[in-house]
């Protein structure tokens, strides 16, 4: 049901963007996925209920799916001589065998890691009373990171297997890279290396559950003008379910995201040069990011509200307090999206003002013409009476 809900709302947004909004009002991603016609009943049911993604996904856009079904995913476009006309030609259909085998190997390793390591390093041990009373702070931090690291392979297994199933059916081809190798990551849901090496909260979120993140961006973040980050995280919590741990995780995630953005905007430019300083910055931000992510998602794993508060209270809510202090003390720079939104509002207001002036000018011009015509009629009547 979660996948079907995503597909229905995603298709509604694509149709709305394609049929009811002007191109200049859309972002580049919205323009690329806009659907210019209503799908037929067969196309609608096929998109929502196809066997490749009915259980575990991953979510895909309707436009990408229908392009695959119609066999146009291997068509290449080339600009004409005048630079405007585009000529389509079909390239040889690449084989997905190599990509499928690689992803199945990742699935096997993830499953093995989950069955052997995860059981020996349970997340619940973070709230064990004896552990909390005897462990030092470095031990608590290290175990928090390792236990959450051991909890991730089950997601790696499920999402990678779903991606491999779609690739085996021929769906998921994105094109060719600069070396001419086929890319089968159109609907991939995660990038494991980028997740484990993330040096910022945003980098982690951009590479975790990718298709759901794109769906949230499409249906919420790009369509709201007031606190889009907060509204997007709340929608994500509601979509995941009713467990209190989900809401604690995503509300904490809002705070961590905003605080991390403020820190990055205010300090990162001081550590770009030289390369040794940049490496030092990357190491520190990697440590901070991994600890913050682990701290944030503990309630997501524990699910219940009592153990979640037990964990946060054992850490004295230190990262919550630190995040609030960062937002209070550091200046928050306006993001590019907010700048663009403000500029669009000013542009629309200026257009309305110009239209109002034009209509006012036309009205005054027509009023003047009416007065002149009335004066001419009166003068002609006087002249006829004198004759």
> What tens digit of pLDDT does each residue of 106-116 get?
999 999 999 88
Last residue of a domain, one of 169, 186, 203: 186
Q: Is residue 153 domain-resident?
A: yes
Same domain, 121 and 220: no
What number is the average pLDDT over the span 314-324? 96
Q: Any catalytic annotation for residue 240?
A: yes
Q: What's the pLDDT score for residue 118?
A: 84
Same domain, 166 and 286: no
Q: Is residue 285 domain-resident?
A: yes
For the cut 70, the answer to whether the pLDDT of residue 48 exceeds it is: yes
More confident residue, 48 or 23: 48
Q: What are phi and psi of 84, to 5 degrees?
A: -115, -45
Q: Any catalytic annotation for residue 114?
A: no
Q: What's the pLDDT score for residue 90?
A: 57
Q: Which domain holds residue 19?
A: 1-73
Last residue of a domain, one of 170, 186, 202: 186
Q: Is residue 100 domain-resident?
A: yes
Q: Which of 209, 342, 363, 382 is catalytic?
A: 209
For the cut 70, the answer to whether the pLDDT of residue 360 exceeds it is: no
Question: Hey, which of 22-26, 234-238, 332-336 has the most confident mean pLDDT?
Answer: 234-238
76 pLDDT tier (thresholds 50, 70, 90) = low
Same domain, 132 and 9: no
Same domain, 284 and 196: yes
What number is the average pLDDT over the span 102-128? 93
Same domain, 165 and 152: yes
Per residue, the 3-state secondary structure of 286-329, as one string, reads HHHHHHHHHHHHHHHHHCCHHHHHHHHHHCCCHHHHHHHHHHHH
> What tens digit of pLDDT does each residue of 210-253 get?
999 999 999 999 888 888 999 999 999 999 999 999 999 999 99
Q: How many domains does the chain have?
A: 3
Same domain, 200 and 318: yes
For the cut 50, the answer to whether the pLDDT of residue 357 exceeds it is: no
What number is the average pLDDT over the span 281-297? 96
For the cut 50, the answer to whether the pLDDT of residue 372 exceeds it is: no
Same domain, 9 and 124: no
User: What are the DSSP calls for 45-82, one per residue?
Assistant: HHHHH-TTTTTT-----HHHHHHHHTT-TTEEEEE-TT
DSSP, collapsed to helix, strand or coil, labels residue 87 as: strand
Q: Pick the closest to residue 72 from 89, 50, 97 (CA basis).
A: 89
Q: Which of 16, 50, 240, 265 is catalytic?
A: 240
């Amino acid at each position: 049901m979660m996948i079907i809900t995503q597909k229905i709302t995603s298709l509604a947004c694509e149709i709305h963007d394609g049929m009811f909004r002007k191109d200049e009002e859309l972002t580049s991603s919205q323009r690329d996925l806009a659907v210019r016609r209503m799908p037929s009943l067969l196309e609608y049911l096929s998109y929502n209920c196809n066997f490749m993604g009915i259980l575990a996904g991953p979510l895909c856009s309707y436009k990408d799916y229908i392009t695959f079904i119609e066999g146009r995913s291997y068509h290449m476009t080339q600009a004409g001589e005048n630079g405007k006309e585009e000529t389509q030609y079909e390239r040889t259909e690449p084989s997905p065998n190599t990509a499928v085998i690689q992803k199945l190997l990742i699935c096997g390793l993830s499953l093995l890691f989950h069955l052997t390591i995860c059981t020996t390093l349970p997340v619940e041990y973070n709230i064990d009373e004896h552990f909390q009373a005897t462990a030092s702070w470095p031990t608590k931090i290290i175990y928090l990171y390792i236990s959450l690291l051991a909890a991730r392979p089950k997601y790696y297994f499920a999402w990678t297997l779903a991606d491999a199933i779609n690739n085996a059916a021929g769906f998921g081809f994105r094109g060719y890279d600069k070396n001419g190798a086929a890319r089968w990551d159109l609907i991939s849901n995660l990038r494991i290396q980028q997740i484990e090496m993330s040096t910022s909260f945003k980098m982690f979120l951009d590479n975790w559950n990718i298709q759901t993140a794109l769906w949230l961006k499409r249906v919420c973040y790009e369509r709201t003008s007031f606190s889009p980050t907060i509204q997007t995280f709340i929608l994500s919590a509601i979509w995941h379910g009713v467990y209190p741990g989900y809401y604690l995780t995503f509300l904490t995630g809002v705070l961590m995201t905003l605080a991390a953005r403020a820190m990055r905007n205010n300090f990162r430019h001081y550590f770009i040069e030289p390369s040794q300083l940049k490496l030092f910055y990357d190491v520190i931000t990697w440590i901070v990011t991994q600890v913050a992510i682990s701290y944030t998602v503990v309630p997501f794993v524990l699910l219940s509200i009592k153990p979640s508060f037990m964990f946060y209270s054992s850490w004295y809510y230190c990262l919550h307090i630190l995040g609030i202090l960062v937002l209070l003390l550091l200046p928050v720079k306006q993001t590019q999206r907010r700048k663009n939104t403000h500029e669009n509002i000013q542009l629309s207001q200026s257009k309305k003002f110009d239209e109002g002036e034009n209509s006012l000018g036309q009205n005054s011009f027509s009023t003047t013409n009416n007065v002149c015509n009335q004066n001419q009629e009166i003068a002609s009547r006087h002249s006829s009476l004198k004759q």
